[in-house]
Amino acid sequence: MRIHNGTRGYLVALPFHTKRLYLFLASILLLTWANLHGQEIKVEIPSDSVLAITLKEVIVISSFNRALEHKTQHKPLSTLDAYLESSSKLNMVKRGGYAWEPMMNDMSSERLSVTIDGMRIFGACTDKMDPITSYVDVSNLSDVHIASGQHGAEHGAVIGGAIDLKVEKSDFLPKEWNGSVETGGETNNNAQIVGAELNYSDERFYIDSDIIYRKADNYVAGGGEEVAFSQFEKYNFSANAGYKVNKGQKLTATFIFDEARDVGYPALPMDVSLARAFIGSIGWSQQKFLGDWTNWETKLYANTITHIMDDSQRPDVPIRMDMPGWSDTYGYYSQARLKLGQHRLLAKLDGFYNRSLAEMTMYPNNSDEREMFMLTWPDVRTLNSGLYAEDMINFANSSLRLSARLAVQGFNVADEFGLNSLRIFYPEMAQRQTRLLKSVSTQYQKEFEKIQLSTGISYGERAPSVSEGFGFYLFNSFDNHDYIGDPDLQNEKALEVNAKISVPLKKVKLGFEGNYFHTMDYIIGEIDPTLSVMTIGAEGVKVYRNLEYADLYNLTLDAEYEIIPALKATGLISYHRGTDQDGRNLPFISPLAYNVLVQYAKNGFSGSVTMRGAAEQVHFNPEFGEDQTAAYTVFSFSLGKRFSIGNDNLFAKAGVENVFDEFYSTYTDWNNIPRMGRNLFMTLSYAFN
C-alpha cells in the first residue's frame, strides 16, 4: 500500500462568481449533446498538488501497475477489505471473513458516503452484511480516495467522511494489448484466488476487462480453534470502455458484476446464500464547457443489489427465518471546473433515487401455526438532489479551501402494508417527507519554513438512514435488541474542527492530526421498555432516538523514517474518544491503537515487516452490547521478487500473517469473534505487454 497526500480544488460561490454559477446550472439543464462542438483548447487542469498536506488519503491499488503493487503492497491480491484496513483513517467492523464494514472517525455506513467513481450505491441488508465495498474487488480499482469529515461532501451529505472507489481505466494511453493472469493462496482458510485481466488501449479507444474468483473455507483463530460459518465464495467481472468522439470529448461506460455465494457470518445468527450487484454507468466528458468553465463531466448510472439472507445452514434456531433485501439506485452527476486568477472552482449538480425493500418471513416449528411476514424496510423511496460547490484559493505560501453542499432529500414509504405497520407506533406518520441538508466547510493551509499547518472548521447535516427512519423490528445481535425506526427523527448535525501539523525533517517526517466532531441530534438506538420483542431471545426493543449531542475526538501521531533510500519505517499511534451529553461512552470507539511498518524495496526485491496492535479498551459501554477488549499485538512479514521474462514480468510474493498465532479480537469484531490465526500466503502474477 502506498499513501499519497494531495489537495484538490474547492469552491463556494463567491459573490462575483454568482452569475457564472447560474449560467453553469442553467446550461446543464438546457444543453443537449447535439449542440456541443468539440475543438480542442488548451486548458490547465486544476492543480492537484498545491500543498502536500490535507485530510485526504489515497490508497493505491492499481492492478495495471503490478510492479508498483508488488513493491508497495504487503499482500497483493488480498481482499479490498484488507487493503482498506491498512489505511490509517479506516477501521473495519468484522462480522466474519467477508464483507467488512468500513468506519472512519469512529463512524460507520449511515454517517459516511461510499461511492464507486462517484456513483451512489446502497446496501440491501438490514444487518449491514453488505457494505458497498463488498460489491467490488481490487481487480476493478486503481485507488481509493478517503476524505475525512466534510471534505467528503463532494460525494454526498456526510458527517464522518467519504470513501470513493476509483475504477481503473486505461484512459486512452497508447499501450495497445496488455494484461495479466494471477493466482494466490492462503493456508489458514484454504483461500484460492484466480484472476485475469485483458486490456486494449490506443489514443482513440480503450476497453478494459477483468475477472476474479475467490473461495475460502472457515478460518482458524489463533491457537487452532475453527471459526464456524466464516467461509465465502465470490466472483467479480468488470468491463469498461472509452471512445474519443472528438479531441477533448470522451464517451465512457463502466460495468461491474459482483456475486458472492455461501457467505457465512459467524458473528450473526444468519448467513447469506446470495449477494449480487449489477453496477453500470455511462459518462460524457469534454475539456471545454461554457465560457471559461472546463473539464465538464457528466455521468448517468444505475445499480441493483439482491441480498438473500437466511438461517438454513444453522443447526439450532428457535425459529426459521428468511430475510431477503433489495436495493436499486439510479443517479447522475454533472460537474465542471473554472480557473479564475487565484481561484480554482468546482461546481457539481447531483442526484439519486433509491428504492430499499427488505422482508422477513418466520416459519414456526409447529406447522399448524401460521407463517409470519413483515416488511423490515417498507419499500422506502429516497430522492436526493444536491448542489455542491468548492473554491480553492492559492496564495504565496498558503491556500484556502471553501466548500458547500445543499441537498433536498425526500422519503416516500411506498408500501401500504409497511406504512400501516409503522403507523402502529406512529399513527400520525406521513407517507412522504422532505428534508433540507446543508454543509459548509473551510480549510486553511499554510507552509512555514519547516512546518506545514492545516486547520479547518465545518458544519454538516445528514438525514436518518432507511433503518433509522423506517426500520421495523431489525434484530441487532451485538446488543441483542430489536430496533425500530423513527420517521420523525431530526437530521443529525455535526460541527467539526480539525488541525494537522506536518514537520518534514531531513530523514524523518512527523505528522500530528486531530479532529473533533460535536454532533447534535446524534442518532442512536435507545431502550423503550414499553415495547415487547419480536425476535425470540431478544432482551428488549430499542427505538432510534436523537441524543442531545455526542462528542467524538480522534488524535493521530505518525512518523516516517528513511533509514536508507531502499529502507523505510513508518509508524502511527492514534487515540479516540466518544461520549454523549451525559458523559456516557458511545459504542465502537477505538482504544489506543498503533502500527509500525518497515519496508525494503530494491532491484525488484521487496520485503516488509508490520506490527499492529491496540491497548486494552478502557472506554466501552455494556448498554450497547460492548465488553472490554483486551490488548493485543500481531506481527506479519512478506517477501517479494520480480522476474523479467523477455518483455513480460513475473511477480511472486509470499508472507506470514499473525506470525505468533495470537488469539485476539478487536473492538470492531462483532460479538468478539476472534481474528484469523497464523496464515501463510503466496501470490503469483504474470503481466504481459
**347 is an interface residue for Cu ion by CB under 5 A:** no
Residue span binding Cu ion (CB under 5 A) among the ranges 42-50, 308-316, 400-408, 553-561:
308-316
**Sheet containing 523-527: which strands, arranged edge to edge?**
474-476, 481-484, 540-546, 523-527
Considering the complex, state which of residue 262 and residue 560 has its C-beta at the smaller distance from Cu ion: 262
d(CA 133, CA 305): 13
Asked if 13 touches Cu ion (CB under 5 A), the answer is no
Contacts of 16 (CB under 8 A, 6+ apart): none
Rule CB under 5 A: say whether 277 interacts with Cu ion.
no
Q: Write the DSSP symbol of residue 676.
A: B
CA distances 399 to 56, 202, 391, 456, 615, Å, are: 15, 38, 10, 12, 38
Retrieve residue 561's grid coordinates.
523514517
- Nearest of 347, 444, 436 to residue 389 by alpha carbon: 347
Distance CA 533, CA 555 (A): 40
Q: Look at phi and psi of residue 295 and say left if phi exceeds 0, alpha if psi is from -120 to 50, else beta.
A: left
**147 near Cu ion (CB under 5 A):** no
**Minimum distance of Cu ion from residue 327's CB (angstroms):** 11
Shortest gap between Cβ of 294 and Cu ion (angstroms)? 44
CB of 148 to Cu ion, least distance (A): 28
Q: How far apart are CA 221 and CA 315, in angstroms?
A: 22
Shortest Cβ distance from residue 158 to Cu ion (Å)?
A: 23
Minimum distance from residue 468 beta carbon to Cu ion (Å): 17
Part in contact with Cu ion (CB under 5 A); list of ranges 2-10, 41-49, 303-311, 576-584: 303-311
> What letter does residue 224 receive in the DSSP assignment?
S
Residue nearest to Cu ion (CB): 125
The residue with cell 406521513 is: 430
Binding part of the chain for Cu ion, among 102-110, 125-133, 410-418, 640-648 by CB under 5 A, reads: 125-133
Nearest approach, Cβ of residue 308 and Cu ion (Å)? 8
- Exactly one of 69, 81, 127, 461 binds Cu ion (CB under 5 A); which one? 127
- Smaller CB distance to Cu ion: residue 153 or 358? 358
| 309 lies in the site for Cu ion, by CB under 5 A | yes
| ∠ Cα 8 333 23 (to 5°) | 85
Smallest distance from Cu ion to CB 218, Å? 19
Could you tell me which residues come within 8 angstroms of residue 180 by beta carbon, excluding any fewer than 6 positions away? 63, 66, 196, 197, 685, 686, 687, 688
Q: In terms of CB distance, is 61 or 129 closer to Cu ion?
A: 129
The smaller minimum CB distance to Cu ion, of residues 183 and 304, is found at 304
β-bridge partners, 553: 516, 577
Measured from the CB atom, the residue of 521 and 669 that comes closer to Cu ion is: 669
50 vs 99, beta carbon nearer Cu ion: 99
Sequence-ordered list of residues with C-beta below 8 angstroms from that of 88, at least 6 positions apart, any chain: 3, 57, 556, 558, 572, 574
CB of 325 to Cu ion, least distance (A): 6
**Site membership for Cu ion, residue 479 (CB under 5 A):** no
Instruction: Using the minimum distance from each CB to Cu ion, give the nearer residue, 107 or 275.
Output: 275
In angstroms, the CA 614 to CA 377 distance is 37
Q: Where does this chain touch Cu ion (CB under 5 A) — which range of 121-129, 217-225, 474-482, 649-657?
A: 121-129
Confirm or reject binding of residue 322 to Cu ion (CB under 5 A): no
- What is the Cα–Cα distance from 636 to 653, expressed in whole angstroms? 13
Q: Check binding of 129 to Cu ion (CB under 5 A).
A: yes
Nearer to Cu ion, 309 or 614 (CB): 309
Q: How far is the CB of 335 from Cu ion (least distance, A)?
A: 34
Smaller CB separation from Cu ion, 479 or 513: 479
- Measured CA to CA, the distance from residue 90 to residue 213 in angstroms comes to 25
User: Distance of CA 25 to CAs 44, 116, 284, 289, 403, Å?
Assistant: 22, 24, 17, 12, 17
Q: Please give the grid coordinates belonging to residue 188.
A: 489458514
DSSP lists the bridge partners of residue 442 as 402, 457
For Cu ion, the closer of residues 129 and 345 by Cβ is 129
Q: Which stretch binds Cu ion (CB under 5 A): 118-126, 175-183, 559-567, 639-647?
A: 118-126
Residue 130 CB, shortest distance to Cu ion, in Å, is 6
DSSP state at residue 264: -
> Which one, of 52, 104, 16, lies nearest residue 554 by Cα?
104
Q: Which residue among 125, 193, 400, 541 contacts Cu ion (CB under 5 A)?
A: 125
Least distance between Cu ion and beta carbon 229 (Å): 13
Q: Is 216 in the site for Cu ion (CB under 5 A)?
A: no
Between 230 and 399, CB nearer to Cu ion: 230
Helix, strand, coil share (%) of the chain residues, nearest 5: 10, 55, 35
Shortest distance, position 573 Cβ to Cu ion, whole Å: 35
Instruction: Please report whether residue 538 would count as binding Cu ion according to CB under 5 A.
Output: no
Q: Which of residues 152-171 bind Cu ion (CB under 5 A)?
A: none
Q: Which is nearer to Cu ion, 127 or 311 (CB)?
A: 127
With CB under 5 A, what is the number of residues at the site for Cu ion?
A: 4
User: Interface residues with Cu ion (CB under 5 A)?
Assistant: 125, 127, 129, 309
